[in-house]
Amino acid sequence: MAGTIDPSAYRDAVVVLATAGVIVPFAKRFRVNSVVAFMACGAVLGPYGLGGLGAKIPILSTITVSSAEALAGPAELGVAFLLFVIGLELSYERLKTMRRLVFGLGLGQVAFSAAAIGAIAYGFGQPAAAALLIGTALALSSTAMVVELLSAHRRITSSAGRASFAILLCQDLAVIPLLFLVSVLGAQNGGSLLAGLTQALLQAIAAIAAIVVIGRLAMRPLFRLVASTDSSESFMAATLLVALGTGLIAAGAGLSMGLGAFIAGLLLAETEYRRAIEVTIEPFKSLLIGVFFLTVGMSVNPAALAAQPVAILSIAAGLFLAKVAITFLFARYFKLSVPTALETAIMVGPGGEFAFVLLTASVAAKLVDQNAAALVLAGVSLTMIFLPLAARMARKLSARLAPAVKIPDEANILPPDDHAPRAIVVGLGRVGRLVGEMLSQHKVPYISLDADPAVVATQRRAGRPAFYGNATQPDFLRLCGLEEATALIVTIDNPRAVDEIVAAARGVRQDLVIVARARDAKHARHLYELGVNDAVPETIEASLQLSEAALVGLGVPMGLVIASVHQRRDDFRSELKPASAPQPALPRHARSRRL
């Protein structure tokens, strides 16, 4: 007979899964950052929130966590997986490519921020070792939040995105000797600070040297053997074994589990299995990092915030302003433009998750006073909550401070005003250029529009009818002959801009044929509601072309394949196009050609 199951044993797991599976997606619908959502849930459901009322209101104990220690294990795994993935990303080639920003701008930001913040902490009465640890912990920013915000707004490849990523990369590298430093200082019991720092750095160098030797000998053969079994389960098991096993070995040696996981990531970074491992580890990493931020939120005590609001707000504001000023000055020293330097500085200005890792370890090693750490971490929490708003402010300031674009002479040419019927192609990327070539091949007159003057100038030099301007403005579309146009073809890959262009064009002409590029099926439905004649979803078209190539390659007659592809395309169009969507009539030019 099976034993009786105690539901309370699974309560914390259910709270975590409910937060990750229900609350965070719901928060994202309102554009709330997932890290902020996890921290907010931790504050509400933790021991200082509803969890503290569990004794008085028993029903609350089923949906809350009464103690942050209950999730300490999964939270530490979250940090370990984060460091494991960071280790995977620290390939030699990436560091070599970005070495100037990583070891110049990044190292300068970390060193001077740590020195400035540490000096302030020392001035407020903290011992030298504690001041050093507080300074270095607060000098680090939130890799998880900054990268997510940059990716969400497609800024990761911008100048500010690359500079921010380089600084974060240097900070991630700095975590390893800092973890050594905490271990060494904790074991020294009041020894020399300089000696402890020197020993920590030497140990870090020795560990990295050992990693290179062991990695060359063991990791590649292990994963080659596992990959040869062609078993995804075995590959996943081997990945988890390496990440967690190395972490546990490091913990057994008196170091942090995260440090061991980082070493495992470095071991695998140069192997051909790196990308497959990243894909395998992603679901575990995201969930466990969420648990870590959940515990971070649980450490926020509203009563303590209310008791010392001025001190905590001063720490948060001082931390942010000090890091922004130092980062901005270093960015300008490395010849980044003012808009790029300012956006980069604001993005890395708030504190990060490693402040909690380092200061929690420092408190456990009795290097930092618990009350001081709690006060500092409360200020860090406020800066992290403020980060999404700061990122939005940074983008706006960067756009406002950006120098005016110098328009080449070729892009200053106005569109023709002869009122001749032409098709209008918006976008001069690969898709737009191909559309223009097809129109030319079939002798269909057209002009192309683009908001990038350099691209327009290049296309005009090549003899193509390209013109510069913002196609989201109805007046510009009229200037380009929209009122006489035979069709409008929108080829750009920015969904919001596509929507604005379609709405502007439909506001000028109701009978215009509009064909627009859509991101996916959901975007296509939205475009049909805006009044396009045809929306072409990238994902569906790619699938149809892959299917066509595969069927022909398998020997199916070409005619049958083409017919079936056309049928599926029509089926998709019927499914995506709502019955209530407007059906614009063909313009007079198209009707005359059909007749």
**pLDDT range class, residue 228, cuts 50, 70, 90:** confident
Mean pLDDT of all residues in 512-525: 87
Q: In which residue are the tokens 């899964």 written?
A: 17
Report residue 413 CA to chain centroid gap: 39
As given in the structure block, the two tokens for residue 535 are: 């929306």
Residue 424 binned pLDDT confidence (cut-offs 50, 70, 90): very high
Confidence of residue 253 (pLDDT cuts 50, 70, 90): low
Q: What is the per-residue pLDDT across 5-31, written as a single tens digit (0 to 9) for each?
A: 555 556 666 777 777 677 777 777 777
Written in H, E and C, the secondary structure of 422-434 is CEEEECCCHHHHH
Mean pLDDT across the stretch 506-517? 89
Q: What integer pLDDT is reported at residue 581 of this predicted model?
A: 55
pTM of the complete model: 0.62
> What mean pLDDT value characterizes the chain?
78
Secondary structure (3-state) at 537: strand
The pLDDT of residue 593 is: 40
User: Encoding tokens for residue 494?
Assistant: 């920015």
Q: What is the pLDDT of residue 488?
A: 93
As a 3-state breakdown, the chain gives helix, strand, coil percent values, each rounded to 5, of 70, 5, 25
- The closest alpha carbon to 467, from 458, 452, 478, 456, belongs to 456
Burial level of 414, CB count in 10 A (0-12/13-18/19+)? Answer: exposed
Query: Which residue spans within 174-317 are E strands per DSSP?
Result: none
Whether residue 342 has pLDDT greater than 70: yes
Q: How far apart are CA 86 and CA 102, in angstroms?
A: 14
Judge whether residue 66 has pLDDT over 90: no
Q: Could you give the 3-state DSSP secondary structure of residue 334?
A: coil
Q: How far apart (Å, rounded) are the C-alpha atoms in residues 396 and 340?
A: 12
- Looking at residue 446, what is its pLDDT? 92
Q: 261-281 pLDDT, tens per residue?
A: 777 787 777 677 777 787 777
Q: Which range is least confidently modeled, 130-134, 148-152, 591-595?
A: 591-595
In terms of average pLDDT, the best of 54-58, 66-70, 297-301, 425-429 is: 425-429
For residue 54, name the pLDDT band (cuts at 50, 70, 90). Answer: low
Average pLDDT rounded to a whole number, residues 159-173: 84
Q: Which of 72-81, 383-392, 458-467 has the lowest mean pLDDT?
A: 72-81
416 membership: H or E segment, kind and range: none
Q: What is the mean pLDDT of residues 480-501?
A: 89
Q: What is the CB neighbour count within 10 angstroms for residue 147?
A: 16
φ, ψ (nearest 5 deg) of residue 58: -55, -35
Tokens 């395998």, residue located: 280
Rounded distance between C-alpha atoms, residue 231 and residue 193, angstroms = 50
> Alpha-carbon distance 361 to 133, whole Å?
10
Rounded distance between C-alpha atoms, residue 440 and residue 425, angstroms = 12
Nearest to 515 by CA among 560, 545, 485: 485
Across the range 304-309, mean pLDDT stands at 76
Q: What mean pLDDT do residues 237-245 have?
A: 80
Q: What are 278's two structure tokens?
A: 């990243």
Burial of 448 (0-12, 13-18, 19+ CB in 10 A): buried
Q: Which residue has the higher pLDDT, 31 or 550?
A: 550
Q: What is the pLDDT of residues 445-480, one digit of tens each?
A: 999 998 888 888 888 888 888 888 888 888 888 888
pLDDT digits (tens, 9 = 90+) for 577-587: 766 555 544 44
Secondary structure (3-state) at 578:
coil
Helix (H) or strand (E) holding 176, with range, is: helix 159-188
Helix, coil or strand: residue 39: helix
What is the separation of C-alpha 153 from the centre of its chain, rounded to a whole number of angstroms? 8
User: pLDDT value at position 193?
Assistant: 58
Q: What is the pLDDT, as a whole number, of residue 584?
A: 47
Tell me the mean pLDDT in the region 143-153.
76
- In this structure, which amino acid lies at residue 108? G
- The total number of residues shown for the chain amounts to 595
Number of Cβ within 10 Å of residue 83's Cβ equals: 29
Instruction: Decide: 117 and 325 in contact? Cβ < 8 Å.
Output: no
Instruction: Tell me how far apart the alpha carbons of residues 548 and 487 are, in angstroms, rounded to a whole number.
Output: 28
Q: What percent of the chain has pLDDT over 90?
A: 13
Q: State residue 57's pLDDT score.
A: 72
Distances (CA, A) of 318 to 222, 310, 321, 323, 376: 49, 12, 5, 8, 11
